[in-house]
Amino acid sequence: MELVRGLHNLRPRHRGCVATIGNFDGVHAGHQTILERLRAHSQRLGLPGCVVIFEPQPREFFAPKAAPARISRLRDKLELLEAQGVDRVLCLAFNRRLRELSAEQFVQQVLVDGLGVRHLEVGDDFRFGCDRTGDFAYLEQSGQRHGFSVEAANTIIEGGERISSTRIREVLDSGDFSQAERLLGRPFSITGRVLHGQKLGRQLGAPTANIQLKRLRAPLNGVYRVSTVLDGVLLKGVANIGTRPTVEGDGRPHLEVHLFDFSGDLYGRTLTVMFHEKLRDEQRFDSLDALQAAIKADFAAARARWGL
């Protein structure tokens, strides 16, 4: 899969494609249906399939502190899109210049001059352009003028509700990982590189791997029963995601994972942590002794669930 960062990196060879546009946060089961249709049109027309995404995501640009937590970071999203058979991703920097493009300018500069789109697949509620003035009807009219077809992606329903990134965040927040797996089409996981931390866990008798989140906000908060695969071996453990209120920190969310019955150097390695069950909310303790007692209780609860 080819990644093109910005309109200025598009070349004449990139013109002529089948495209879809969106955040594609999580690349969930609803997104996967859109991408399946993209592949079908790509094969029918003999053209590459292109996904147009934005970085940062629009809501992160307009209100970064109020923006929803990301289900997947950019690197994960790209890997998931590649696994779905996407040929090319155009990642547009969402900045003031892009935000101020009118709907007409967006169509002309991105879809026509930039990509030479022959077919466009979008949701029927898709809005674009300055002040969100462009909509599906405008795209249909533009397609007639510029020679590309437009099709509305069907809403995918599961359990009587629309599959969406918003719904998945709600399900994750409730700790229903079985439902999250159905909506995502895979178990929910977080991938990141293990960094050096404060090493407080060692002092408390519970060494942890401090995993880089690279998110403005985390989609989870609390203590969880988790697992990861390392060198082909499934390792079970406990993870904490939060701001670590008992100890002084930087106020940002951190992911710390303790793997049962494991000893070894994980620094610099990339781990994918799969979440299975929420054990409790993160909380502030009055002392490190109280924190240590809570950690021991978490380990015991997780081991009992795992049957260890």
What are the boundaries of each domain within the chain?
A: 2-162, 188-306
Determine the average pLDDT of the residues in 51-67. 92
Determine the average pLDDT of the residues in 113-119. 97
Asked whether the predicted pLDDT for residue 203 surpasses 60, the reply is no
Asked whether the predicted pLDDT for residue 161 surpasses 80, the reply is no
Beta bridge partners of 91: 5, 53
Determine the average pLDDT of the residues in 223-247. 86
Check residue 83 and give its pLDDT.
Answer: 97
Instruction: Give the count of alpha carbons within 13 A of 53, CB side only.
Output: 23
Determine the average pLDDT of the residues in 197-213. 67
A 10 A CB-CB count for 213 gives 19
| Global pTM value | 0.89
Q: Among the CATH numbers 3.30.70.20, 3.40.50.150, 3.40.50.620, 3.30.2010.10, which is that of 2-162? A: 3.40.50.620
Determine the average pLDDT of the residues in 213-228. 89
Instruction: Give the count of alpha carbons within 13 A of 42, CB side only.
Output: 18
Q: Domain 188-306 - what CATH class? A: mainly beta
Q: Are strands 117-123 and 88-93 parallel, antiparallel or unpaired?
A: unpaired
Asked whether the predicted pLDDT for residue 182 surpasses 60, the reply is yes
Determine the average pLDDT of the residues in 139-163. 86
Determine the average pLDDT of the residues in 239-265. 80
Determine the average pLDDT of the residues in 103-120. 96
Check residue 264 and give its pLDDT.
Answer: 80
Q: Which one-letter DSSP state was computed for residue 2?
A: E
